[in-house]
Amino acid sequence: MRKNYAILIVLSVIFILPLLITITNSFMSEAEIWLNYTTKLSTFDLVGGITQKFVKFVLIPASVTLSQYIAVLFEQPTFIVLLMNSIKITLPVVLGNTAVSLLCAYAFTIWKWKHKEKFFFVYIIVMLMPLQAVLVPNYIIADWMNIKTSYLAIILPGIFSPFGVFLLRQSMKAIPKEYFEAAKIDGASDWYIFLHIVLPQMKSGIAALSMLVFIEYWNLVEQVIVFIKDYYKEPLSVFLSRIADGQIGLIFAASCVFMFLPLWFLAMGQRNLEKGIELSGVK
């Protein structure tokens, strides 16, 4: 028993380390970060006979300062704008995709068409297509719909993404068939069954899906750089991907601000997430 805890604690430390470093280092001063992460030798080092320097991961800041947060949040007024942009992209996708997928997954459950499994297989196969391959056709379609420079070019494909259908259908399978039949006998319509029987059962599946979609769209980079040309309209993820190499003095605080929402989302839904995937795992 004790051995089990030991294994888990050791592994947890390894898994949590990047998060811990990001959080603690966000309270370091820029100078301290430079000291820890740059390995270019200065003249002082050469005089001191140091010929090689290595990266140091330091967990406890020498002095706690909020300067990074001030620099990120207040000295760059655009940061808040970018954060809002991230929300503007992510929120509609999460809500839209969940709603559309729920309806579709329900339809697959009650549909009696004999080829529905084949149609469902198409959903899965299309989901497997790598991004690079569909970027150009997506652009062609966005151009055709005249939305190629707006968020819609990113949001609309997100709403109709087949992953949600797949996940929700799997978890809907766990709802016993008897529920539907009993309701049917009582003369309930499909809408009624959907709203009053299926939806309450699906809380966990919905949580799971919305969390995974949230994380995916919060971290979105590739589609954005193709469609959004104005950098004041870019979401935070793009900004962060560019900041990563250049301004290491800011990256930790920026990451923390960036991570705050998804972490909160994850913590909120963690209990449900497990349950949701549990259901979708049971066929």
The residues in 28-57 that bind other proteins, with binding defined as CB under 8 A, are 37, 39-43, 46, 52-57
Q: Is 241 in the site for other proteins (CB under 8 A)?
A: yes
Least Å from the CB of residue 63 to other proteins: 22
Stretch that binds other proteins, among 27-35, 60-68, 87-95, 108-116 (CB under 8 A): 108-116
Binding mask of the shown chain, residues 60 to 99, with x at each position contacting other proteins by CB under 8 A:
---------------xxxx---------------------
Q: Which is nearer to other proteins, 19 or 64 (CB)?
A: 19
Stretch that binds other proteins, among 27-35, 60-68, 87-95, 269-277 (CB under 8 A): 269-277
Break the chain down into helix, strand, coil percent, rounded to 5. 75, 0, 25
Least Å from the CB of residue 119 to other proteins: 8
Alpha-carbon distance of 109 to 120, in angstroms, equals 11
Residues 6+ apart with CB under 8 A from 73: 79, 80, 257
Alpha-carbon distance of 125 to 203, in angstroms, equals 27
Least Å from the CB of residue 205 to other proteins: 12
| Side-chain-side CA neighbours of residue 114 (13 Å) | 0
Other CB atoms within 10 Å distance of the CB of residue 88: 13
Q: Is 235 in the site for other proteins (CB under 8 A)?
A: no
Q: Is 187 left (phi over 0), alpha (psi -120 to 50) or beta?
A: left
Residue of 68, 90, 98, 101 interacting with other proteins (CB under 8 A)? 101
Cα distances (angstroms) measured from residue 68 to each of 83, 91, 94, 242, 270: 17, 27, 31, 17, 30
Q: Is 132 in the site for other proteins (CB under 8 A)?
A: yes
Q: Is 192 in the site for other proteins (CB under 8 A)?
A: no
Least Å from the CB of residue 208 to other proteins: 9
The kind and range of the H/E element at 20 are helix 2-25
Least Å from the CB of residue 64 to other proteins: 20
Alpha-carbon distance of 240 to 220, in angstroms, equals 11
Q: Is 146 left (phi over 0), alpha (psi -120 to 50) or beta?
A: left
Residue of 159, 172, 207, 209 interacting with other proteins (CB under 8 A)? 159
Q: Which is nearer to other proteins, 7 or 64 (CB)?
A: 7
Q: Is 22 in the site for other proteins (CB under 8 A)?
A: yes
Least Å from the CB of residue 76 to other proteins: 7
Q: Which is nearer to other proteins, 91 or 282 (CB)?
A: 282
Q: Is 278 in the site for other proteins (CB under 8 A)?
A: yes
Contact assessment for residue 247 and residue 17, using Cβ atoms and an 8 Å cutoff:
no
Least Å from the CB of residue 62 to other proteins: 18
> How many residues are listed for the chain in this entry?
283
